[in-house]
Copies of this chain bind each other. A is one copy, B any other.
């Protein structure tokens, strides 16, 4: 029950504490992405200090509610650019809806299907053993674990 607060704590320490608004700018520059107004705004929302799981739509709602005008398409483009730059990780849990995770480290997820809600599981926690060798000519790229949970 106190387990998931451990996840959060881990990530706060990984990002450093507090408001890292500058971090958005730094991240963009380091990635060779131009620090446009929209990107800075989105980065500011995403990398505020703790891990976040967003969909294009949820992030668009958020940035709109913050009073900034950004089109949904731009949010999509930006999310993909951030992902390509290694700032985000795309999480596939639901066909027909893309989730993006600000925690790009090795970890897995709980997924509450009914509400479309993700919770991190630290990478060191879960262990997947006895993964068979992939068929000839193929190499393992990544192992994704999704623990689907329901309201009890």
Q: Please, how many angstroms separate the alpha-carbon atoms of A133 and B145 in the complex? A: 15
List 16 extra interface pairs beyond A126-B131, A139-B150, CB under 8 A: A1-B133, A1-B136, A3-B135, A94-B95, A126-B129, A128-B128, A134-B149, A137-B151, A137-B152, A139-B151, A140-B149, A141-B150, A142-B148, A143-B146, A144-B145, A144-B146
By a beta-carbon cutoff of 8 Å, the part of chain A in contact with chain B is: 1, 3-4, 90, 92-98, 110, 112-113, 119, 121, 125-152
Q: Which B residues are CB-close (under 8 A) to A148?
A: 140-144
A138/B125 contact (C-beta < 8 A), A144-B148, A148-B144 known:
no
Q: Which B residues are CB-close (under 8 A) to A141?
A: 113, 148-150
Across the two chains, which residue of chain B brings its CB closest to A133? Answer: B3
B151 in contact with A138 (CB, 8 Å): yes
The complex is assembled from copies of this chain, and their number is 2
Across the two chains, which residue of chain B brings its CB closest to A146? Answer: B144
- Give chain B nearest CB distance to A114 CB in angstroms: 10
A126: contacting residue among B92, B125, B130, B139, CB under 8 A? B130
Chain A contact residues, majority secondary structure: strand
Q: Please, how many angstroms separate the alpha-carbon atoms of A96 and B92 in the complex? A: 10
- Give chain B nearest CB distance to A72 CB in angstroms: 16
A143: contacting residue among B92, B97, B145, B152, CB under 8 A? B145
